[in-house]
Structure 1
Amino acid sequence: MEKIRLGVIGTGMAWERLHYPALQKLSDRYEIKALANRTRSDAESFAQKINLDLQNVYDDYNELLKRDDIDVVDILVPIELNYIVSEAAARAGKDIICEKPLAPNMEQAKKHLELGRKYRVKIMIAENFRYNEENNKIRDFVTSGKIGDIVYFIRNNVSCFPCEMTKDTFAAKEWRQHPEFPGGAFLDAALHDIAAIRHIFGPVECVQAFGKPQQQDYNPYLSVNANILFKSGVIGQFTYFPSGMEPQRPLVGFRIFGTKGEIYLEEKSSGIINVAYNDGTSEQIAYTPEQGFYNELLNFYNSYTGREQVSVPPEIEFGDVKMVFDILDSVVRQEIIYVDVPPKKKKEEQYLTGQKEVHPYIQ
């Protein structure tokens, strides 16, 4: 079996705990050739764990990119560097796996869209929630009409970032506690939820959001609450509360209400999707949690070898990132923001010019 010769840029927690365990299961498809990390000693420690000769370790990723024996680079760096490193890799002619988000701001996100075409390289953005088993099952349930027509949903994400800051967790990282990118944890973490609901329900018409401000660097708001209207007509309410706890059980979680029943996922690690029907029956569908990392790397391999398309190219991730900033923009401007609207003509202009009938609910 053909193997992808992989160079890794960024050997921190995301590499060790997320990507590398998945790659171990795909060892017949990927071969790790070189590591680069700004703290060289960390990369050297990992190289020793996998018996990689230290001559294949770098503290300058540009040196790694010069190698002819690397087909693909896996980029796992602080968010503010995602586009910068991706652009360097594309310019070097390397195909790219880049951790989400594709960029720290919309200006660089737009530039990221051009990299694949400009340098003729394959790019996948590693948004694992779009590859997670539970989200794909739920999407299938929704599209197949398992609970009838979807009316609305609630998605609640509560966590305690401050509680995790002193532990051996992602929240303990300095660049997450004092981010050099707008949105803080909302861009870093809530992006996953937004990717999931867009994956399940499709394009978004508009959002209206509110936030409770706080004076903490890690996130500009104590909580963000967003009302969402999808182009399909589905209505949703998403809450991101990274500064507290949810002591009640069961959790609010993710609840989808349809004309024939309800889908309920308490949390992504639960392993069970609950489906209850209006006739009083119910079923519990099992899934394997945290399969997104394996699935995304398998998808990239299959795409690289011509078996399928990349499921999350930059164009898909761009929409997720744009919606993050649209929600934050709505909070600041205190108005409805249109999301997946053609750039030549905003929705407000369509109504004003008579090119679109006024929606009956806003006449």
Structure 2
Amino acid sequence: MAAPGIPPIRLGLIGTGLAVEKLHWPALRGLADRYAVTAFTDASAGQGRRFAEYSGTDPARAAVSRAALLARDDVDAVLVSVPIPNLYEVARDALAAGKDVFCEKPAGVDEQQAAAFLALAAGHPDRTFVVGENYFYRDDLRHARALLDDGAIGRLHLMAWRYAGQSVPRAGGFTGTPWRQRPQYRGGVHLDFGVHHIAQIRLLCGDVARVHGAVQTANSTIDAPSDLTLNLVFTGGAIGNYTASFPEIPVPPEPNEMRLYGTEGVLVLGGSEAERHVISSRTDATTRTTVFRGSDNGYRAELVDFADAVQFGVRPVGGVAQSVANALVVHGAFASADRAAALALDPVPGAGPVPLWRPRGSAGLFDGLPGQRSSSTASFAA
């Protein structure tokens, strides 16, 4: 919650498409004490009207253009939700207009634009500039990170994660977006969706020192490789493998679980968006399972973190450098695949290990957040 007497951030939306409708607006709707939408604009007038209808926002708050919205005095900050190739220029214009910026991911269509994102943030030190990454704020992932920090499985030495799921254009869904089917950015689905997985890997395993990737194309509905397999060496000494496949054919049900192997136990992370689980096992063959239900997958928490940064000067977890570090792992994977060789990754200035986010002023992980959590113990001894 905001402190008494502090008015909500006057927020302008640049882009009101699927990400706003399905992800950001449901979170904003529950944060009326932190945000008030005072303006919105979209390249599609119909999409803007749809936003006004489902959100109940006064249609008079629609701005005729991005420039018109950025010129308004009743906009303190903007949420940028436009196609990936346009993110940089919109964020640049918003910062130049003196606005704080919450920008959709990823930070950079390639390595050169990733560097430009870093330079843009450095050039506006007086502004809060965040590139959203909800996986940094997910309850199950933060719980797993806290377990790792507390030494629950000893020293992490191996990460293994295989993810597979059909990806075909579906009307009204993210895969139905034409710019995603014919991406004008390197990596395609692996930069758009897979970058979330890289965020999860970095949150739990630390920074990546070296990558060795290989790609395959096995989906005619997307103009980019559908498959990526990636060997990783982490700066902390652990190693890992991440394999992601997005074929056009149906695939049998997959567990899609991440497994983290330590010297004193194993963590297993899996489940669906509706019900996620973290299973911690120990050397005595006991397990503790924590189940998370009713979470919004971190969208509310990342907006709370952004508001805390704007209103109270808190350093946000999802800063530009962290998003750049995520994107550069994907770009490095594809560069490695091109060269058929392992590739060292340089540290990203200002990034480093991802901090563990907690609600401001709280020692707990979940204080004031929605969702339910339950735990149980068992044994897998023979």
| TM-score normalized with structure 2 length | 0.84
1:86 Cα deviation from its structure 2 partner: 0.4
Structure 1 residue corresponding to 2:83, chosen from 74, 78, 81: 78
Would you identify which runs of 4 or more consecutive aligned residues in structure 1 move more than 4 Å?
Answer: none
Where does the alignment leave 5 or more consecutive residues of structure 2 unmatched? 1-5, 350-382
Please state if 1:301 is matched with 2:298.
no
| Contact residue 71 and residue 97 of structure 2 kept, 8 A | yes
Aligned residue in 2 for 1:34: 39
- Provide the residue aligned with 2:216 in structure 1: 212
Provide the C-alpha distance between the structure 2 equivalents of 1:125 and 1:275, rounded to a whole number of angstroms.
31
Return the offset for 1:53: 2.9
Corresponding residue of 2:161: 155
Partner residue of 1:225? Answer: 229
User: Which residue does 1:90 correspond to in 2?
Assistant: 95
Q: CA deviation at 1:100?
A: 0.5
- TM-score by structure 1 length? 0.89
Deviations 1:90-138 (A, max 9, x none): 1111100001112222222211212233233210111111111111111
Separation in 2, partners of 1:290, 1:342: 29
Give deviations 1:1-27, integer Å, cap 9, x for gaps.
421000001101100110000011111
Instruction: Note the residue ranges of structure 1 that are not aligned, 5 or more in a row.
Output: 344-363
Counterpart amino acid of 1:227? Answer: N
Cα shift at 1:168: 2.5
- Residue 177 of structure 1: which of 162, 177, 181 is its match? 181
Once the two structures are overlaid, the 10-residue window that deviates more, 37-46 or 263-272, is 263-272
Within-5 A mapping of 1:1-363: 1-119=6-124, 120-162=126-168, 165-214=169-218, 216=220, 218=222, 220-243=224-247, 245-248=250-253, 251-267=255-271, 269=273, 270-288=275-293, 289-306=295-312, 308-341=314-347
Q: Quick one: which amino acid aligns to residue 157 of structure 2?
A: V
Q: CA deviation at 1:213?
A: 3.2
Kept in 1: contact 2:207–2:235 (CA 8 A): yes
More off after superposition, 65-74 vs 106-115: 106-115
- What is the number of equivalent residue pairs in this alignment? 340
Cα displacement (A) at 1:307: 5.5
**Contact persistence 1:176–1:185 (CA under 8 A):** yes
Q: Which moved more, 1:138-147 or 1:62-71?
A: 138-147
Distance change in 2, residues 1:316/1:252 (3 Å): closer
Deviation at 1:299, TM superposition (A): 0.3
Q: Which amino acid aligns with 2:76?
A: D
43-52 or 168-177, larger mean C-alpha shift: 43-52
Q: Secondary structure at the match of 2:67?
A: helix
RMSD, aligned CA: 1.9
Structure 1 stretch displaced more, 251-260 or 86-95: 251-260
Q: Deviations over 1:175-210 (max 9, x none)?
A: 111112121111101100011111111111101111
> Cα deviation per residue 1:255-309 (whole Å; 9 max; x = unaligned)?
1111222111123523221112221211111334433111100001111111521
Q: Which residue number corresponds to residue 358 of structure 2?
A: none
Kept after mapping to 2: 8 A contact 1:36/1:61? yes
Alignment partner of 2:39: what SS? strand
* Aligned-partner Cα distance in 1 for 2:218–2:152: 41
Answer whether contact 1:228 1:237 (CA < 8 A) is retained.
yes
